[in-house]
Chain A
Amino acid sequence: MAEKLKSAISDPVGIVFDDLSIAYGRTEVIKHVSLEIKPGEFFAFLGPSGSGKSTLLRAIAGFGPHPSGRILIGDKDVTDLPPWERDVAMVFQSYALWPHMTVRKNVAFGLEERGLPRSEVRSRVDEVLAMVGLSEFGERRPSQLSGGQQQRVALARTIVVRPSVLLLDEPLSNLDAALRVEMRRELRELQRRLNVTTVFVTHDQEEANMMCDRIAILANGIIQQVGDPMDLYDQPANRFVARFLGTANLIEGTLDRSNSECVFRSPDGIALPLPAAALAGATGERAILIRPQSIEIRRRDEPAPDGRVRLDGVVELREFLGGHIRYVVRIGKTQVLVDTSHRPGRRDHEIDDPVVLYVAADELRVLGD
């Protein structure tokens, strides 16, 4: 896909959800979502099955029950517009290629519906097929293509119409692992060149992290948090987001402030003194998030590093994961996961070894709910 693009959108548009709710009969599947997607962004809806991410995406295209609230594309309120009048193009999870048409006819469809002259249709289809590397496949039928090739045709079909918004509904989920990784990079590059606002639905956080500028995490029809991948990982707003992105150690307990000190106490005796800066709100019931890779694990008889919070425990389990080793350490009634990088020759801890966990205070994150 190294062609020079005439298809780049000069002025990409943003998308706004304004207090959007969608219900199937009595069941609310999207609950009061307000969100702003910036022009030209590669934006992801990330969440588990049933979170409403596909519903939200389809709502942009105009499919599904009529929502309450508003959807704006650019400055236009499209909430009441039928699908064929919105300038958004969607790649379906099953690709939805029409089996009775050749690849060319599939790709040309949108242009024909827009009434473009035949010569222009032909040249644009040629351009786009070259872009996705399928120039010689124009006369084939979808059934004669591999999964990866079908996906490219579905993509070509959408970008050829130069939509103001590109929607991708889990487009990579039917591909095998190697192809998926390759397609992620290609999609990312394509989006950058085309400069088109793109919304991408996935349940795979690695995919979202890798490809997207910003992510909205959804659960049960509610947006849990919006931000760029690193922010979401480092500063999750709640337990769900903390658990969904990466592995999380969550220790439940209470946050107390006495004198000028803040201490976090868990029911089974873990006490963590916290700098005031670590406070995320008032005192009370909280959870502390510690990422496994932020913890250093040492034997009891080793010297302690300076300025770290210290927790004593016993090794319960050890898992070799190739690049690193994961320890399950029991502290009181809590199990804490610790990841250390694996270097051959370095002595590992054994099961039932008494150990000490050290973590920097500023790597403790306090979660509100």
Chain B
Amino acid sequence: MADVAALRRVARIPWGQATLAITLGLFLFVFLILPIGRVIFVAFQDLRTGGFTLIHFSDFFATALFRESFWNSLYVAAMSVVFASLIAIPLAYFTTRFNFAGAAIIQSLGFIPLVMPPFVGAVAMLLLFGRNGSINLLLGQWFGINIPFMEGLNGVIFVQSIHYFPFILINLSASLNNIDRAMEEAAQNLGARGLRLFRRIVFPLAMPGYIAGASIVFIKILDDLGTPLLLNVTKMLAPQAYLRISSIGITDPMGYVISVLLVGFSLGALWVARLATSGREYATVQRGGGGLQKRDLRPGEKVLCYSIVLLILVVVLSPHIGLLLLSFGTVWSYAVLPDAYTVAHYIEIVRATPQFITNTLLYASFAAFADIVIGVAIAYLVMRSRLFGREWLDYVAMSAIAIPGLVLGIGYLRSFHGLEVPFTGEPLATWWVLLIVALSIRRLPYALRACTAGLHQVSVSLEEAALNLGARRLRTVRRIVVPLMGGAILAGFVTSFATAAVELSTTIMLVASEANAPLSYGIYIYMQSAAGRGAGAALGIVAVLIVTLGTYISHRVIATGRRAEEITSA
């Protein structure tokens, strides 16, 4: 009797789901937990005895170069957030306070950083804002002054502030718009106005949203490898880790120490963001129009506002403009503009190094595809199955958000070192398929979030109806669930694709030869020399185009899909 009961219990276990879950778990373990664990392990491991030690950390902080890099990184990240906020706060206040059409332009600013990562435009920024760049040449001619926009750390701060400023702006605007108008009116009713009103009521209510956004931006800047490298700023954490690993090798403990520090900061930033937003549900029910009171602009004020908006737009677009000029320019140095224009660079990248583009399309597509397959699978298992421990799949996959690309790259190099790809004898660590895996792991949290949100929208009863009519689970998922999740899946695909296409931190660690390299690596290589800058810029423009096109297409598809849904849903 007991055997029959046991057999019945075994039969009830959903074997299909269990196998899927185990496979996913293994995948995440091998390609996320193992490498990161290895990195953390090595950082604390005594080279001779193999036991636990803090000596690498004390060595790190004992060395002047590393101490300097540590503080430089923190300084750059903090100052970038500060500058970006200084510009964003008044602008956000304008758009939420006043009725003016420029607000639409400001909203669109939010898309600009998404199509081009900061490192791509870094060299162009040097040519525009550097000591002998366009702006300083003009300033020198007209006023005899020279502003050190791009000197040393300033350059990194400048590029990062301009890049992340729209993020902070959008974030802050949303926080301000979420404030119930009655909050403000109640304060005015009791006598508050102007700056006091802002300081006591508006700002504290907008704070949590701002802090959450700012801490995320902080960590992104801290982790960024490409921008300091391309600006030749090496005394920062990420470039130091890269240089140590690439010049001394993967046995050097300093790279691992830096990795642990970076992961620590990531977790800290995520924790701060979480603290800021949890338990402070400040968005309230709004009656008769949300957000703060708006008033119209007087004509004089309008001119001022539009001028400021225009100026900011130009500054935010300056890397793109510079990149464009550089890609079409023949020679551009010590001059305000390129000497002459040509399409030679574009021809060169297509003729000499077409693999940069084709590899990117290949890698990014595969990585994005892997992301949505895994994303749908995990979302489905977590939300629809009753498997024991399924939330852990979600937690582990989401934890990738705290891992900087650089650290993942180092982890792979270390974990897969010495291994060979079966049948070909190639080193596994630099195999192009592994790069795809790394890219997909890095983007998985975002794809997973999109898929989870999408699955939330699909009611369980739709699946149950299919099961009831005889379809088995896999068919149901394929024919019912996935199509209904369509928009979310597409959104997940596009974001994964767009960010994987221009990712540099992990790529630079895992690419062995130019033949296997994608766009981001190509840009990096080309930008190393003055002669190659034009081609590098051309590649950059191609990257921007690919990402913009992809994002645009997905928006159109999602929009039409939504319209169709509205028509068909009862």
- Which A positions have Cβ atoms within 8 angstroms of B? 61-63, 82-84, 88-90, 92-94, 96, 98-100, 109-110, 113-114, 143, 157-158, 161
Interface flag for B280 (CB, 8 Å) = yes
Q: Is the CB of A94 within 8 A of B190?
A: no
Q: Which residue of B lies closest to A106 (CB)?
A: B186
Q: Is the CB of A113 within 8 A of B280?
A: no
Interface flag for B100 (CB, 8 Å) = no
Contact residue among A61, A82, A99 (Cβ-Cβ distance under 8 Å from B282): A99
Q: Is the CB of A92 within 8 A of B192?
A: no
Which of A63, A93, A98, A161 counts the most chain B CB atoms within 10 A? A98
Give the segment of B46-54, B177-185, B393-401 that binds chain A.
B177-185
Interface flag for B566 (CB, 8 Å) = no
Contact residue among A63, A100, A113 (Cβ-Cβ distance under 8 Å from B190): A113
Q: Is the CB of B193 within 8 A of A82?
A: yes
Which of A82, A88, A113 counts the most chain B CB atoms within 10 A? A113
Q: Which chain A residues border B284 with CB–CB below 8 Å?
A: 94, 99
In the complex, what distance in Å separates the CA atom of A113 from the CA atom of B199? Answer: 13
Q: Is the CB of B287 within 8 A of A94?
A: yes
Which of B180, B191, B192 counts the most chain A CB atoms within 10 A? B191
Which of A83, A89, A93 counts the most chain B CB atoms within 10 A? A83
Rounded to whole Å, the gap between the CB of A88 and the closest CB of chain B is 7
Listed from nearest, the 5 A-B pairs whose CB atoms lie closest are A113-B191, A110-B190, A96-B182, A96-B186, A83-B188
Q: Is the CB of B185 within 8 A of A84?
A: no
Q: Is the CB of A84 within 8 A of B192?
A: yes
Q: Which chain B residues border A92 with CB–CB below 8 Å?
A: 182, 185-186
Q: Which chain B residues border A99 with CB–CB below 8 Å?
A: 205, 280-282, 284
Q: Is the CB of B191 within 8 A of A98?
A: no
Q: Which chain B residues border A158 with CB–CB below 8 Å?
A: 190
Rounded to whole Å, the gap between the CB of A2 and the closest CB of chain B is 27
Query: With A94-B285, A143-B281 as given contacts, are A84 and B193 in contact (CB-CB < 8 Å)?
Result: yes
Q: Which chain A residues border B188 with CB–CB below 8 Å?
A: 62-63, 82-84
- Give me 23 A-to-B residue pairs in the complex whose CB atoms sit less than 8 angstroms apart, sorted by A's number: A63-B188, A63-B189, A82-B188, A82-B193, A84-B189, A89-B189, A90-B186, A93-B287, A94-B180, A96-B182, A96-B185, A96-B186, A98-B186, A99-B282, A100-B282, A109-B187, A109-B192, A109-B200, A110-B190, A113-B191, A113-B192, A143-B281, A161-B190
Q: Which residue of A lies closest to B188 (CB)?
A: A83
Q: Which chain A residues border B204 with CB–CB below 8 Å?
A: 100
Q: Is the CB of B182 within 8 A of A84?
A: no
Q: Is the CB of A83 within 8 A of B201?
A: no
Which of B187, B280, B281, B287 counts the most chain A CB atoms within 10 A? B187
In the complex, what distance in Å separates the CA atom of A28 from the CA atom of B282? Answer: 34
Q: Which residue of A lies closest to B283 (CB)?
A: A99
Q: Which chain A residues border B280 with CB–CB below 8 Å?
A: 99-100
Q: Which chain A residues border B201 with CB–CB below 8 Å?
A: 98
Q: Which chain A residues border B479 with CB–CB below 8 Å?
A: none
Rounded to whole Å, the gap between the CB of B27 and the closest CB of chain A is 42
Residue interface bits B203-240, CB-to-A below 8 A is 1, else 0: 01101000000000000000000000000000000000
In the complex, what distance in Å separates the CA atom of A98 from the CA atom of B281? Answer: 11
Rounded to whole Å, the gap between the CB of B207 and the closest CB of chain A is 8
Q: Is the CB of B180 within 8 A of A96?
A: yes
Query: With A94-B285, A100-B280 as given contacts, are A109 and B190 in contact (CB-CB < 8 Å)?
Result: yes
Q: Which chain B residues border A110 with CB–CB below 8 Å?
A: 190-191
Q: Which chain B residues border A82 with CB–CB below 8 Å?
A: 188, 193
In the complex, what distance in Å separates the CA atom of A110 from the CA atom of B280? Answer: 24
Q: Which chain B residues border A62 with CB–CB below 8 Å?
A: 188
In the complex, what distance in Å separates the CA atom of A82 from the CA atom of B190? Answer: 12
Which of A61, A99, A143, A157 counts the most chain B CB atoms within 10 A? A99
Q: Which residue of B lies closest to A94 (CB)?
A: B182
Q: Which chain B residues border A61 with CB–CB below 8 Å?
A: 185, 189
Interface flag for B475 (CB, 8 Å) = no
Q: Is the CB of B192 within 8 A of A90?
A: no
Q: Which chain A residues border B191 with CB–CB below 8 Å?
A: 84, 110, 113-114, 161
Q: Which residue of B lies closest to A91 (CB)?
A: B186
Interface flag for B562 (CB, 8 Å) = no
Q: Is the CB of A113 within 8 A of B196?
A: yes
In the complex, what distance in Å separates the CA atom of A160 from the CA atom of B192? Answer: 16
Rounded to whole Å, the gap between the CB of A251 and the closest CB of chain B is 40
Q: Which chain A residues border B281 with CB–CB below 8 Å?
A: 99, 143
Query: With A100-B280, A161-B190 as given contacts, are A83 and B205 in contact (CB-CB < 8 Å)?
Result: no
In the complex, what distance in Å separates the CA atom of A153 from the CA atom of B566? Answer: 44
Q: Which chain B residues border A113 with CB–CB below 8 Å?
A: 190-192, 196
In the complex, what distance in Å separates the CA atom of A143 from the CA atom of B204? Answer: 16
Q: Which chain B residues border A98 with CB–CB below 8 Å?
A: 183, 186-187, 201, 205
Q: Which chain A residues border B192 with CB–CB below 8 Å?
A: 84, 109, 113
